[in-house]
Copies of this chain bind each other. A is one copy, B any other.
Amino acid sequence: MKPSTESRKLPPLPPGDIRIITLGGVEEIGKNMTAIEINNDILVIDMGLAFPTEETPGVDYIIPDVSYLEQNRSRIRGVIITHGHLDHTGGVPYIMSRIGNPPLYTRNLTALFIKKRLDEFPHLPPVDIRIVEKTDRIKIGNVPVRFFGVTHTIPDSMGVIIETAYGLIVTPGDFKLDLDKVDGVPTPEEETTYSIFDREKVLLLMSDSTNIENPGFSPPEREVHKNLEAIIKNVKGRLFIGTFASQLERMIKIIGFAEKYDRKIVIEGRSMKTNVEVAELAGLLQVKKGTIIPVTEIGNYPEDKLLILATGAQGEEFAALMRIANKTHKQLRFKKGDTVLLSSSIIPGNEITVQKLKDNIARQEAKIIHYRTSEVYIHASGHGNRGEIEWLHKKIKPKFFIPIHGWHHKLRVHAEMAMELGLPEKNIVVPDNGMVIEITDKGRKIGARKETVSSRLVLVDGLGTNDVKEVVIRDRVMLAQDGMFVIIGIVNVKTGRVVKSPDIISRGFVYLKESQDLLHQVRVLAKRKIEEATNRMHPINFDYVKNLLREEVGRYLFQKTHQRPIVLPVLIEV
């Protein structure tokens, strides 16, 4: 990775000042990562990945650009991971060794998830993972750091408190509030947790903006559990439940309900199997022997006594639910009498694939219960709505505020909410990826520097060892639009004449079998243009001829088809 020129120009941080660099997660959902510098110590919070979109085809993951950390690796004292989801942990295998493998601090379950993931990268140096408890106070470098437990969809989620000379820096990580019902009143446990902020001065809050646009409070997960229990108890026939493997708390509950109502469980999908194993390893789940059965034994039990937990509720092409639905799964098919419960929201961008999944299930006459159309809550987000976010601000009463986690517009809405609660505009910074924010004047001022650090899209593909360059992605997007057109001419270097008719290779452009006339015209055109160009040329400037050919052929193809394939001329000298 090329160090950006911007980051080189960053002056050293004056003693007493605090620098916050938002490396990822503030212009998107995903790849969350923030660096905090205090005196000579750099702390990193979270190291996530994001999933590709239509604009980054053929890519596996997108990770934050850590050029700045690479250049300053000697000052990195530790990495804190708030919880075990990939948008907070997924960058670990790709980033840790680049930044000098500093110690990684996290809670037990998160540590187990990270270790499980790192097993897939045996060539990497081991990561020094140090388990912390939610009430711990530790020192990372010279910086005192504390933690607090937060409610999310995975156990062992935690917030981070960094103690500074001017007050606390607080981030809850991903959080929602634990409510008994949808009334906006948190449980006494939540009140107790957050009561630590009643007594302490908070210098800076950085918090999640994912659901800031949703009014009110998010439906409580315990409401979802209650409804799932009723379904698991009452549904006749086989029950399939599709959910995110990352919804670990819900999976633990579902497995418990299955045991209670005497259903055997089949788990389909690697990530789900892994996550259940990790939950057992962490002691968060005790499954009785014989509860989880292999799919091959499914025929030994009455259908009312079966629950199939499966990945793929987003309609992912190769996940279990889709393979069952499109009849490519080895052992399972949907049929009349089955119920398929999709206990997950639709990630933006997946609407059409989810629709296709539902269509394929419906064709096999299984009944579908989907959270969007269910009359009761069968899914709840792990991120608090506006009501919860507002509650947090009122509890924490920060002096300064940086909205994080979300698209730019969400951060703006979050910042406006903070202003409505009384924070002056000058105390708020809406960050971009790569922005360098500093708290100066002995904690009296906050502001963004004009210099930024490098924040390119870093794309991980295939073996994951190489970055995919943006130019490659641009080509893919262009290839997907109108395909490509290679034209190969063999040119006699002495005479400049084209030997034989040029060859054409094309894909994704037009249907070649029905375009013979077009191809013939292009061959004639190409031969003529090459020979016109080489006619008075001694020696032949092949680059010039190639560029000319690219232009002429491209123009001709557009005129005839209104399409613009990537035209690639090849001249072979004989």
Contact = CB atoms under 8 A, between A and B. Distances in A.
Contacts of A463: 561-562
Given A503-B570, A568-B507, A572-B503, A355 B462 contact: no
A413 to B, nearest CB: 8
A530 interface: no
A363 interface: yes
Contact of A505 (B349, B359, B480, B568): B568
Interface stretch (A12-20, A182-190, A272-280, A404-412): A404-412
A80 to B, nearest CB: 28
Contact of A479 (B407, B479, B570, B572): B479
A230 to B, nearest CB: 19
Interface residues of A, number: 66
A119 to B, nearest CB: 18
Given A462-B562, A482-B58, A503-B572, A469 B359 contact: no
Nearest to A347: B351
A58 B480 contact: yes
Contacts of A478: 508
A207 to B, nearest CB: 18
A193 interface: no
A488 B568 CA distance: 13
A476 interface: yes
Contacts of A562: 461-463
Contacts of A479: 476, 479-480, 483-484, 507-508
A213 interface: yes
Given A58-B563, A352-B348, A510-B472, A570 B481 contact: no
B362 A409 contact: yes
A358 B215 CA distance: 18
B462 A563 contact: yes
Given A348-B352, A352-B54, A481 B486 contact: no
Interface string A49-84: 000011001100000000000000000000000000
A525 interface: no
B507 A475 contact: yes
Contacts of A473: 508
A409 B359 contact: yes
A361 interface: yes
Contact of A570 (B361, B505, B514): B505
A563 B574 CA distance: 34
A76 B57 CA distance: 45
Nearest to A511: B469
Contact of A510 (B355, B466, B570): B466
A468 interface: yes
Nearest to A504: B570
Given A351-B351, A408-B362, A408-B363, A481 B488 contact: no
B54 A561 contact: no
A480 B57 contact: yes
Contacts of A505: 486, 568, 570
Contacts of A477: 480
Interface string A549-574: 00000000000011100101010101
A476 B368 CA distance: 33
A166 interface: no
B480 A472 contact: no
A351 B566 CA distance: 29
B373 A215 contact: yes
A372 interface: yes
Contacts of A215: 373, 375
A464 B463 CA distance: 41
A472 B483 contact: yes
Contacts of A413: 373
Contacts of A407: 355, 358-359
A509 B474 CA distance: 11
A486 B57 CA distance: 20
A132 interface: no
B372 A509 contact: no
B509 A472 contact: yes
Interface in A454-472: 461-463, 466-469, 471-472
Name which of A213, A477, A490, A507 has the most chain B CB atoms within 10 A of its CB: A507
A348 B563 CA distance: 26
Q: Which 7 A-B pairs have the closest CB atoms?
A: A462-B562, A348-B351, A480-B480, A479-B479, A469-B511, A476-B508, A359-B408
12 contacts: A53-B352, A358-B407, A361-B409, A362-B409, A461-B562, A463-B562, A468-B510, A472-B483, A475-B508, A476-B483, A479-B483, A505-B570
